[in-house]
């Protein structure tokens, strides 16, 4: 990420960069090469100067929250274990990261909402190959899809992806994730995601109900 200019507002390119990082944070382990640079910049206290969404004061607070989890002994190992518990298992996930869990009446995977997302991605030519056999409505994969579309300047497609396939359930999920963990890094991730999605609403002129 490039240094943020004072009073800068997030544009589509900046949202793409943020979405790519958020996708990695939700989908990859903390020691993954796509995640470690973010952890390092948080540890250095540089979040407010680099993250493209949100006011510096709010970002400073989020950065301090996340940094509190990084100063403990064996911090990376603790983060890896918490990531395993929250996103992988083998136990039942306390806050499942798939949209259909929050949108389908019976909280099932691969429901009608997942099929609608698959149709949208196919129509837009977006292929999400994570190497795993799982639904495409994982929040990390959705952020990556948004990043791909935003990087190509496809604002209308980003607007549809967020309005129809992410914002309809992300609030419920983020609340569940916040309640499922006491780890301040992941609580900070919840706050950072909420802040970024709120600014994306403004950028894309999406109504609050979207």
Query: How confident is residue 11, by pLDDT bands cut at 50, 70 and 90?
Result: very high
Q: Cα–Cα distance between 39 and 206 in angstroms, integer? A: 30
In a domain, 209, yes or no: no
Instruction: Give the model's pLDDT for residue 107.
Output: 84
Does the residue 195 lie in any domain?
A: yes
- 117 within domain boundaries: yes
pLDDT-wise least confident of 42-46, 70-74, 205-209: 205-209
Q: Which residue has the higher pLDDT, 1 or 40?
A: 40
For the stretch 96-111, pLDDT in tens is: 999 999 999 888 888 8
pLDDT attached to residue 6? 57
What confidence score (pLDDT) does residue 108 get?
Answer: 83
C-alpha 170/C-alpha 88 separation (Å) is 19
Tell whether 77 is covered by a domain: yes
Residue reference for tokens 């950072």: 192
Domain with residue 48: its CATH number is 1.10.3480.10
Residue 6 within any structural domain of the chain: no
List pLDDT tens digits, range 140-170. Answer: 999 999 999 999 999 999 999 999 999 999 9
**Number of domains the chain contains:** 1
Within-domain flag for 30: yes
| Cβ-contact 109, 101 below 8 angstroms | yes
Q: Let me know if residue 131 belongs to a domain.
A: yes
Distances (CA, A) of 46 to 7, 35, 49, 51, 68: 16, 15, 5, 9, 14
pLDDT the model gives residue 129:
72
**In which domain, by residue range, is 154 found?**
12-204
Residue 5 maps to a domain: no
């Amino acid at each position: 990420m490039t240094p943020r200019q004072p009073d800068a507002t997030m544009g589509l390119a900046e949202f793409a960069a943020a979405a790519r990082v958020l996708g990695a944070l939700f989908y990859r382990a903390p020691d993954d090469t796509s995640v470690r640079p973010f952890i390092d910049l948080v540890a250095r206290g540089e979040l407010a100067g680099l993250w493209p969404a949100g006011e510096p004061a709010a970002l400073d607070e989020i950065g301090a929250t996340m940094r509190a989890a990084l100063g403990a002994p064996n911090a990376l190992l603790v983060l890896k274990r918490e990531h395993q518990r929250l996103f992988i298992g083998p136990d039942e996930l306390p806050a499942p990261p798939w949209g259909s869990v929050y949108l389908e009446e019976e909280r099932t995977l691969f429901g009608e909402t997942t099929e609608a997302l698959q149709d949208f991605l196919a129509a837009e030519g977006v292929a999400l190959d994570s190497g795993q056999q799982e639904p495409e409505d994982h929040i990390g994969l959705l952020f990556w899809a948004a990043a791909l579309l935003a990087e190509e300047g496809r604002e209308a497609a980003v607007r549809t992806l967020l309005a129809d396939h992410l914002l309809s359930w992300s609030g419920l999920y983020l609340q569940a994730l916040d309640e499922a963990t006491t780890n301040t890094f992941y609580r900070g991730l919840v706050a950072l995601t909420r802040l970024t999605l709120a600014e994306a609403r403004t950028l894309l002129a999406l109504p609050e109900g979207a």
